[in-house]
A = this chain, B = another copy of it.
Amino acid sequence: MTRAPSPALLDALAKLLGPKGYTTDADIMAPWLTDWRGKYTGRAAAMLSPGSTEEVAAIVRLCADAGVALVPQGGNSGMVGGATPDVGGNQLLLSLRRMNRVRSIDTSARSAVAEAGVILETFHHEALTHGLRFPLTLGGKGSATIGGLVSTNAGGTQVLRHGTMRALVAGIEAVLPDGSIFDGLAPLKKDNRGYDLRHLLCGAEGTLGIVTAATLHLVPAAAARRTAWIAIDTPHRALLLLRQLDASIGRELEGFEIIPHGCLDAVLRHIPQTRAPIAAKHPWYVLAELAGASDQAVGDALERELGAALDAGLILDVVIAKNDRESDDFWRLRDSISEAERAEGPALQHDVSVPVNLMPTFIADNPARLTAAFPGARALSFGHLGDGNVHHHVQPPVGADGPAWLAKHGTAVSRLVYAHVIELGGSISAEHGIGQMKRDLLAELDSPARLAALRGIKAGLDPAGLFNPGKLIA
């Protein structure tokens, strides 16, 4: 068990960090003790906001000596309660937000060193001023921080071409549970000195180390992008289309999102100033985006390939955005799905992945399994088809008392969805992580071999269990 911080420890931390870096003020701490979706609320003995890696190391050493637990936090925009302390009040909230410097940008090597507290959107802008682009983006970009994105191995809508955060991290600096600083910032393309700490810390949700900075890959700023809204019959055909585009223009293909008509319909009903790019109703839509060297080039490529797909009967209809504003309008439909769904009422949300080739099977088969067990339940799958990752939401039957139905059937519905995912070799957390939300689920559903390995790694690196206890694994 971890201990309550003694007054002497709190004094030492207050002295170390000064008034900018230390507070126990309830009003100041409050916004950071509840996750942004309001699902988890915890307590903390104090909030620590160090301004440097050395201060983080000093905090960790003091807390390790005292046996006091630390909960690292970035922008507090996670989806699984991974950055919210428990309700005991003994844990210390460790905010990395003050460490918000972009330490350097190397335009010739196309990389930058950013501290953990740099906000994603700020980093996007900083890269652009150097003619470069950081090719990872997601809804929470205005609050999500580099440290949080690394620690959760964040995904988003550009994974198809550029990979998840893991693929963009060339180096890591972190403070380990013994208070030592691991300096792995040098961007080595080859380094075979044993176990890869960079990959281990990426996605470890702050349970093995406090990420204080990262060296990140950048790409040339895209000169042009062009977006298509495509009507299609089935997810299987969408995958065929993806394979065709991948073979012909794969290098430029940055986005490939699948959207069922039900999602579009909800967006049109609930989100002001939205309209369907294709007036006729079709069962599925694909939002595909190309980024490339020139407007002409990407436009021509999209027209050629999608024209051929239309002629071949693979797709039903297509509209290509004429300019960036129209592209933005298409993306707004995609990005508004969650908001529209909230307006529809409560739903169960599953962030799952399966091998890409099996994703159409999952999308096609799961609703039938669901309605066989739970008559009237409505499933909507949307998202990153090209990554084998959909957000699979289940809504109560029309006319049912939503909250009551979910209270009664929610757990069983999710178990059915996850069992199907596992049957297909998939993951019960594709991009949101485990945190506290899926911790017990993971312990129940993951293979004993893998669970034992996770526990062994945690015990080996954080034997006292002081880094983000209660998250990921019990």
CB < 8 Å neighbour of A193 from B109, B384, B446: B446
Q: What is the distance, in angstroms, from A459's C-beta to the closest C-beta of chain B?
A: 5
Which residues of B have CB within 8 Å of A452?
176, 178, 180
Stretch at the interface among A183-191, A319-327, A406-414: A183-191
The answer to whether B354 touches A192, judged by C-beta atoms less than 8 angstroms apart, is no
Residues of B close to A434: CB separation below 8 A: 192-194
Q: Identify A190's interface contact among B186, B220, B384, CB under 8 A.
A: B384
Q: How far is the CB of A395 from chain B (nearest CB, A)?
A: 24
Evaluate contact between B192 and A430: CB separation under 8 angstroms: yes
Instruction: Please report the C-alpha to C-alpha distance between residue A473 and residue B243 in the assembled complex, in whole angstroms.
Output: 44
A189 to chain B, nearest CB (A): 5
**For the complex, is A399 an interface residue (Cβ under 8 Å from B)?**
no
Q: Quick check: is A472 within 8 A (CB to CB) of the other chain?
A: yes
Tell me the smallest distance from the CB of A17 to a CB of chain B, in Å: 22
Distance from A40 Cβ to chain B, minimum over Cβ atoms (Å): 18
Does A145 count as interface, using CB distance less than 8 angstroms?
Answer: no
**Which A185-244 residues have C-beta < 8 A from chain B?**
185-197, 199-200, 202-205, 208, 220, 243
Q: How far is the CA of A181 from the CA of B194 in the complex (A)?
A: 22
Interface 9-mer from A261-269, A342-350, A421-429: A421-429
* Segment touching B, from A136-144, A152-160, A281-289, A299-307: A152-160
- Determine if A387 is an interface residue (Cβ-Cβ < 8 Å): yes
Tell me whether A353 is interfacial, beta carbon within 8 Å: yes
Chain B residues contacting A164 (CB-CB under 8 Å) are: 190
Q: B204–A106 contact, CB under 8 A?
A: no
| Residues of B with C-beta under 8 A to A454 | 194-195
Most buried by B among A186, A204, A446: A186
The complex places the Cα of A186 from the Cα of B357 at a distance, in Å, of 11
Q: Does A453 contact B (CB under 8 A)?
A: yes
A1 in the interface, Cβ–Cβ < 8 Å? no
List chain B residues, Cβ under 8 A from A386.
Answer: 189
Q: Would you call A461 and B457 a contact (CB within 8 A)?
A: yes
Is there contact, CB below 8 Å, between A453 and B191?
no
| CB <8 Å contact, A108 and B389 | no
Q: B188, A355: Cβ atoms under 8 Å?
A: yes
Inter-subunit contact B355/A427 (CB<8 Å): no
Is A356 in the interface zone, CB < 8 Å from B? yes
Separation of A189 and B199 alpha carbons in the complex (Å): 15
Q: Are B208 and A203 in contact (CB under 8 A)?
A: no
The answer to the question of A18 belonging to the interface, with a C-beta cut-off of 8 Å to chain B, is no
Main secondary structure of the interface of A (DSSP, over half): loop
Q: How far, in Å, is A216 (CB) from chain B's closest CB?
A: 14
A460 at the interface (CB under 8 A from B): yes
A457 in complex: contacting residue of B205, B425, B457, CB < 8 Å = B457
> In the bound complex, how far is the Cα of B180 from the Cα of A176, in angstroms?
29
Nearest B residue to A445 via CB reads B193
428-474 of chain A: CB within 8 A of chain B: 428-434, 442, 446-450, 452-454, 456-461, 463, 472-473
A388 at the interface (CB under 8 A from B): yes
Instruction: Give the shortest distance, in Å, between A199 (CB) and chain B (any CB).
Output: 4
Contact A429 B189, beta carbon cutoff 8 Å: no
Q: Are A355 and B109 in contact (CB under 8 A)?
A: yes
Within 8 A of B (CB), among A333-385: 353-357, 384
Contact among B187, B203, B387, B449 with A189 in the assembled complex (CB-CB below 8 Å):
B387
Cβ B193 vs Cβ A429 within 8 A: yes
A–B Cβ pairs within 8 angstroms, 29 of them:
A152-B192, A153-B196, A164-B190, A176-B449, A176-B453, A178-B452, A180-B449, A180-B452, A182-B447, A184-B450, A187-B356, A188-B425, A188-B426, A188-B427, A189-B356, A189-B386, A189-B388, A190-B384, A190-B427, A191-B429, A193-B429, A195-B208, A195-B458, A196-B200, A197-B450, A197-B453, A199-B200, A458-B460, A460-B461
Pick the 4 closest A-B CB pairs, nearest first: A460-B460, A186-B425, A199-B199, A180-B449
